[in-house]
Amino acid sequence: MSPPSETELADVGAQLGAALRARRWWLATAESSTGGLIGHALTMTPGASDYYAGGVICYSNRAKERALGVPHALIEAHGAVSVEVAAALATGAAHRFESEVGLSVTGIAGPDGGSESKPVGTHYVGVVRRGHTARVEQHVFSHDRNGNRSAAALAALQMALDEVSAAG
């Protein structure tokens, strides 16, 4: 299966935007391995400022800690690419941007940086809705670097869409 195209990302971003707009909710993002692809997909739709509060590209651990309040001890204990950090990133984004929904991605895009327990392509996607506990999904993609990044961005957009849609 090939990685998603920019059009696929934009389509799911538009669906997510419509769902957020219908509820009058705001979404904020925390992107590490995707480097802004989620924000890009969301802002391809005119009027995204009605529901997209903004995001942080938190590529370094320092940015995760300083911009989004992820505790250093959490990164030390679990690694930047982990369930725990993805949850903290989503929660930090929602809090910092005063949004109903926080969405995060942290992962190993490649071609280097993987390990036996976290191979290249491993990504954790986190979503949190105000008043709820963050949900995190693990994905392992097998594309090249850009394909892994695009696949992770699409997985995140879809997960957020599912969360917002299920909120009724």
pLDDT, tens only, 13-59: 999 999 999 999 999 999 999 999 999 999 999 999 999 999 999 99
State the DSSP H helix or E strand holding residue 40, giving kind and residue range, or none if neither: helix 37-43
Query: Which burial class, exposed, middle or buried, applies to 138 when counting CB atoms under 10 A from its CB (0-12, 13-18, 19+)?
Result: middle
Residue 66: Cβ within 10 Å count: 13
Nearest CA among 51, 58, 55 for reference residue 33: 58
Distance CA 65, CA 59 (A): 11
> Which class does domain 6-166 fall in?
alpha beta
What's the rounded mean pLDDT across residues 87-92?
98
Tell if the pTM clears 0.95, that is, is over it: yes
Residue 67 class from Cβ within 10 Å (0-12 exposed, 13-18 middle, 19+ buried)? middle
> What is the mean pLDDT of the segment spanning 76-81?
98
110 Rama class: left (phi>0) / alpha (psi -120 to 50) / beta: left
C-beta of residue 122 within 8 angstroms of C-beta of residue 113: no
Please give the average per-residue pLDDT across 59-76, as a whole number: 98
Residue 82: the pLDDT is 98
Model confidence at 168, pLDDT cuts 50, 70, 90, reads low
- CA 79 to chain CA centroid, Å, is 17
Whether residue 5 is predicted with pLDDT greater than 90 in this model: the reply is yes
Average pLDDT, stretch 50-70? 98
**Is residue 1's pLDDT more than 90?**
no
